[in-house]
Amino acid sequence: MKKSKRYVFFSLALAGFVLFFTTSCDDSANPPSVTTAEVSGITSTEAASGGNVTADGGDAVIGRGIVWGTSSNPSIEDNEGQRASGSGVGEFTSAMTGLTPGTNYHVRAYATNSEGTSYGENLGFTTDEPEPEYLSPGNWDNATSAVNYNWGAGEGFIFGTNIYNDKAYGQIFNISQSYEIYGAVYWIGVRRGTTGNIDFKIWNYSGGQVGQVLGSKSIPVADITPTVQLADAIYVEFDEPVVVTGNFLIGADFTGMGAYVEGENELGNISSEIGDGLGANLALVLEANDQWVSVGADYNVDVDIAIFPWAMATGKTSAIKSAPIHDRPVPAHLPFVGSSPVSSPRR
């Protein structure tokens, strides 16, 4: 009888051990479960994704986020970018920045607990091609209004034809990087007459004075439509991109349209309001004696000329550099308040 009891006790102990072992295995944690969110907000250098931690695997999720790279299935150990996004279960969104334009990328969400890291689906996307931008003249973005200034009744325009036989006008652009300039918007408010041509030019200004012509495009006067709406301003596209590596002057040489005749042969480029140039003296005119002068310093006309180069930093390429102007974003518009004489007479 005692021997039988020993067998029963041993059998019960063994069964308890098996039950304990099985229960312990069933209670062990696993890595979390996570899915990758669709990629959105794609630009040339940024995008957004994220994920959803649907289960913690039986242990707290201590880290989650996304990893990305140009090779498929990026991981925490092998990636070109990583963005952590808190902890725990649920949805999250993460940003990808510093991306290379026109490049194929892959992104995965990840979630980590004490048992390891799990990944969501591998999603591919392509960043946009880089886009050119409008360079704003001087203090234009902070200016108050736009005006077509003249020297007085019957004397003609400051930035255009006048009785003083000026030959050209231009706006200085001080730059800190090199650009390719594809063209420019010229906000011309007055054009009367249809004969001749206007040469839209870029001059070197890297030495602090007007130098050689870097690029030029001749447009028939008859093809220039004046407007008081910047969105309708003429866009002049150069035959080849003009590379500028230092400060430059961009404007128009209007000697090809003939002498000023009030009401019959006139050209006037709009500018910001006097005082809006903040004393930078970036607006120049080429007088009859072939001397460039600052209208701010010499005539107290402290403005910026409404000329907007369409440009992109060198070293990048764009598929839209030759797109029609109305497919592009419009430069910052200022309310046009009309034509006005300046208070300082021309010497």
With contact defined as beta carbons under 8 Å apart, do 159 and 305 qualify? yes
Instruction: Give which of 204, 200, 216, 199 is closest to 178, Cα–Cα.
Output: 204
Q: Which residues pair with 66 in a beta bridge?
A: 83, 109
- The Cα 243–Cα 139 span in angstroms is 23
Question: What pLDDT tens digit does each residue of the chain (347 aa) get?
Answer: 444 444 444 444 444 444 344 444 445 889 999 999 999 999 888 999 999 999 999 999 999 999 999 999 999 999 999 999 999 999 999 999 999 888 999 999 999 999 999 999 999 999 988 778 889 999 999 999 999 999 999 999 999 999 999 999 999 999 999 999 999 999 999 999 999 999 999 999 999 999 999 999 999 999 999 999 998 999 999 999 999 999 999 999 999 999 999 999 999 999 999 999 999 999 999 999 999 999 999 999 999 999 999 998 876 555 544 544 445 555 667 888 888 899 777 76
pLDDT of residue 329: 54
pLDDT of residue 26: 43
Q: In this structure, is the dihedral angle defined by the CA atoms of residues 190, 162, 181 and 308, taken in order, positive or negative? A: negative
- The Cα 215–Cα 241 span in angstroms is 8
- The Cα 36–Cα 108 span in angstroms is 6
CATH architecture of 33-126: Sandwich (2.60)
Instruction: Give which of 135, 119, 145, 117 is closest to 49, Cα–Cα.
Output: 119
For 194, half-sphere exposure in the C-beta direction (CA atoms, 13 angstrom radius) is 2
pLDDT of residue 8: 40
SS3 track for the chain? CHHHHHHHHHHHHHHHHHHHHHHHHHCCCCCCEEEECCCECCCCCCEEEEEEEEECCCCCCCEEEEEEECCCCCCCCCCCEEEECCCCCEEEEEEECCCCCCCEEEEEEEEEECCEEEECCCEEEECCCCCCEECCCCCHHHCCCEEEEECCCCCEECCECECCCCCEEEEEECCCCCEEEEEEEECEEEEECCCCEEEEEEEECCCCCCCCEEEEEEEEHHHCCCCCCHHHCEEEEEEEEEEECCCEEEEEECHHHCCCECCCEEEEECEECCCCCCCCCCEEEECCCCCEEEHHHHHCCCCCECEEEEEEECCCCCCCCCCCHHHCCCCCCCCEEEEEECCCCCC
Interacting residues of 16 by C-beta distance below 8 A, sequence separation 6+? none
Q: Is the pTM of this model over 0.75?
A: no
Residue type present at position 127: T
Phi, psi of 22 (to 5 degrees): -65, -45
